[in-house]
Structure 1
Amino acid sequence: MNSTELLLTRQSNPHLCEPAPAGEDLHNILSAGMRVPDHGALTPWHFTLVQGEGLNKLSEYFVNAVQLQTDDEAKLEKTRNMPFRAPLIIIVSTKYQEHKVPKQEQLVAAGCCVHAMQMMAFSLGFGAVWRTGELSYNNSVKYALNVDRQDDIVGYLYIGTEKKVRPAKPAKPYEGCVTYLK
């Protein structure tokens, strides 16, 4: 797959199973995250890899956080199962630096990490989906994951082998999103 094909055909796939990337594949995915634009070379991000027994721990963190808000068993069960949607989750959080580079630019750089890693996973033949949601903004989850209160969870990148190939999504036309300054 060349870079043009990669960029024009990548799509999320939430239907993931073993095997997860390992060895050189995982190295390349993480390395792609480190190559993103980074104004000021601050590296304002951190990656937490979750797999194996870590998926059970993440499930506990999620359930504990949601139990503080509800006792709805259906919601708790759905929450309990979230980490098991893929054999590997890379949680990307910010590590904001006091710097002239604004916090917003540091957040965008961390978001670029998720995107680059998803693209690399796709290029290596794996499926991936970037998820956020209420547990990305939950202080109990941040605390459990050792994410400082002032930092943000940018997303959960679920990665694995596609167990179901999704039909190609139609390309979105860009014409309605472009203006030309002449």
Structure 2
Amino acid sequence: MASIAPLLSAASAAAVLTRRRSPMPDALVAPGPNREETERLIEIALRVPDHGRLSPWRLVLIAGEAKQRWVEKLLELAGQREDAPKTRVSTRKLASAPLVVVVVSSAIPGHKVPEWEQWLSAGAVCMNLVNGAHALGFGANWLTGWHAYDGRATALLGLEDGQKVAGVVLIGNVAAEAPERPRARAADVTRWLEA
């Protein structure tokens, strides 16, 4: 028989996950996680399925003055694009969160573990970051946007050949809770396979 402590833990974890929402990027403000909380968050993030134990992802942490310079450089690049007004607006969304974690898919081509599974593992790192931030009392928003696909923007992150941005996760304190929104209903998206 299971002890009561794990049941209470499971109930608490379920409650946290059930209430999780992504705050608007501008609602993520300082203070963000300190060094110890960030290390804990990364520890949580890396507890993902990883077929073949390949660690097919890398994380780029951006905070403080480095984040400010990164956003400024992105704004310069955004201004050079044909869709400059739109890209500048999406770039400004990166400014208020005190911590940005860029999850980079670093899949190994030609490995017996299909690249698709390696990409999914990188996506799981993003989701664990979001859930971990929520569990630690912060908020998080998982974005991509033009800067995740533009070669000049990804060069600012020092990506190697073949690496791709899986997600840009903004983390901070939540200044304003996001309103609840309609969610998919289990009955609409699930079915039991019949024998």
- TM-score higher than 0.5: yes
SS in 1 for 2:62: strand
Runs (4+) of structure 1 exceeding 3 A deviation are 74-77, 167-172
Q: 1:51 to 1:112 in 2, by over 3 A?
A: same
Match of residue 11 from structure 1: 21
1:46, CA displacement in angstroms? 0.7
- Assess if the C-alpha contact under 8 Å between 2:87 and 2:146 holds in 1: no
Match of residue 90 from structure 1: 101
1:2 and 2:12 correspond: yes
Equivalent-residue separation in structure 2 for 1:169 and 1:147 (angstroms): 35
CA-to-aligned-CA distance 1:51-99 (integer Å, 9 cap, x gap): 1111222113312432342384x44653553321311100111112241
1:24, CA displacement in angstroms? 2.5
Q: TM-score, normalised by structure 1?
A: 0.90
Structure of higher CA gyration radius: 2
SS in 1 for 2:160: coil
Equivalent-residue separation in structure 1 for 2:105 and 2:163 (angstroms): 5
Q: TM-score, normalised by structure 2?
A: 0.84
CA-to-aligned-CA distance 1:30-62 (integer Å, 9 cap, x gap): 001111000100001111111111122211331
Among residues 53, 70, 88, which one is paired with 2:82 in the alignment? 70
1:122, CA displacement in angstroms? 0.2
SS in 1 for 2:52: helix
Equivalent-residue separation in structure 1 for 2:121 and 2:73 (angstroms): 26
CA-to-aligned-CA distance 1:121-162 (integer Å, 9 cap, x gap): 101110110011121111111112111241110111000001
Aligned residue identity for 2:104:
S
Comparing 118-127 with 52-61, greater Cα deviation is found at 52-61
Among residues 37, 42, 63, which one is paired with 2:54 in the alignment? 42
Aligned residue identity for 1:88:
L
Equivalent-residue separation in structure 2 for 1:61 and 1:128 (angstroms): 23
Equivalent-residue separation in structure 2 for 1:108 and 1:77 (angstroms): 29
- Assess if the C-alpha contact under 8 Å between 2:90 and 2:145 holds in 1: no
Equivalent-residue separation in structure 2 for 1:8 and 1:80 (angstroms): 30
Equivalent-residue separation in structure 2 for 1:150 and 1:104 (angstroms): 14
Comparing 123-132 with 147-156, greater Cα deviation is found at 147-156
Q: 1:78 to 1:39 in 2, by over 3 A?
A: same
Q: 1:39 to 1:80 in 2, by over 3 A?
A: closer
1:12, CA displacement in angstroms? 0.3
SS in 2 for 1:181: coil
Equivalent-residue separation in structure 2 for 1:136 and 1:76 (angstroms): 12
Q: 1:71 to 1:173 in 2, by over 3 A?
A: closer
Structure 2 gaps of 5+ residues are 1-10
* Corresponding residue pairs, total: 181
1:123 and 2:135 correspond: yes
